[in-house]
Amino acid sequence: MTGKFTVLVTGGAGFIGSAVCRRLISIGGYRVINLDQLTYAGNRASLRPIENSPDYVFSKTNICNETAIRELLRTYRPDAIMHLAAESHVDRSIDGPAAFVETNVIGTFRMLNAALDYWRKLDDEKRGRFRFHHISTDEVFGDLPFDSGIFTENTPYAPSSPYSASKAASDHFVRAWHETYGLPIVLSNCSNNYGPYHFPEKLIPLVILNALDDKPLPIYGKGENVRDWLFVEDHARALELVMREGRNGQSYNIGGGSERTNLQVVETICDLLDKKRPSLLGNSYRSQIAFVVDRPGHDRRYAIDATKIRSELGWTPTVTFEEGISATIDWYLENSWWWQPLRKQRYAGERLGTAKG
């Protein structure tokens, strides 16, 4: 392990966090300490490809437990922290906002306190390369008109849901710890992710699996809401770049440049499934589409301007939406061992999802 760059990843059993852990271990040169409480969306099965690596460590820990966080920092002495742990589902935040305040705001506060104390005690060399990388969402910026506008790093915050408000608060705390105490930080705000290992209540996996089960494919309102879709492995690659090469105190928007309405996303999935796994009923999966009452505060459109990360760090997405959605469907068709146990739980299929995951 000598010479390995050690990264403490919070929320590393979640959708994006597990993609980050898998990437860091697979490319080599990293030791990964995965900290996750294993709530409903955390799944250690998502780490199966790397769980036997000598450079991978898992710790079941709550980010609100500052004492435990401090002990992990003393034990493993990370060179960077990638903070992804968060409650992330908009519908759940509407039903129960308290958990989002506790995890996303208080949990981030606890992480910052522990990180600051740890950073202050490092030697000069290690202090110079340390970064606290806070991973956030484009939803903190609110929504955009259907026909104009795009989010930049300078877009004012205007969150619409308890979820996005809690993430906005955590972003502000991270910046405050940098400005007030000098903690070296980088932030990133991403668009909607999709890909393998996505929790089954989120929009894309929900539609895939409901289609296969001959269940309705629910879409809010008229399906006109627009999101910019980012393949999760492209995002993981961007996050590594921001963590290693991002400028201290800066934020970076990460987007896939693939805006689609929710209806277009669902229809694309239906058309691909018609070819890959035709319905036994002989109908197109489009016949299962069902429009349902819209949720409160549903943002119309998100769109990311990724110019800064492209020009400063050389990152661009490599997977088109057409390529990524086809690969995602293939993954769900081939990996029922992963999603079937989750699907059987009582909350599976009961919610619609368009958040990050």
The residues carrying an active-site annotation are 138-139, 163
Please answer whether residues 166 and 105 qualify as being in contact, where contact means their C-beta atoms are separated by less than 8 angstroms.
yes
SS3 assignment, position 129: helix
Enter the tokens of residue 310.
């492209």
- C-alpha 7/C-alpha 33 separation (Å) is 6
Environment class of residue 73 by beta-carbon count within 10 Å: exposed (0-12), middle (13-18) or buried (19+)?
buried
Strands (E), the chain: 5-10, 30-36, 56-60, 80-83, 131-137, 185-190, 192-194, 217-220, 226-231, 251-254, 259-261, 289-292
292 pairs with which residues across the strands? 220
Cβ neighbours around 59 below 10 Å, total: 17
> What letter represents residue 185's amino acid?
I
**Beta strand pairing call for 56-60 and 80-83:** unpaired
Q: What are the angstrom distances between the C-alpha of 80 and each of 186, 214, 248?
A: 11, 45, 12
Please give the helix or strand (H or E) that residue 262 lies within, else none.
helix 262-276
Smallest CA-to-CA distance from 100 within 89, 111, 114, 116 is with 89
Please answer whether residues 228 and 302 qualify as being in contact, where contact means their C-beta atoms are separated by less than 8 angstroms.
yes
Cβ neighbours around 214 below 10 Å, total: 12
Q: What are the angstrom distances between the C-alpha of 153 and each of 156, 165, 352?
A: 9, 17, 28
SS3 assignment, position 132: strand
Look up tokens 């299962």; give the residue: 288
Cβ neighbours around 292 below 10 Å, total: 11
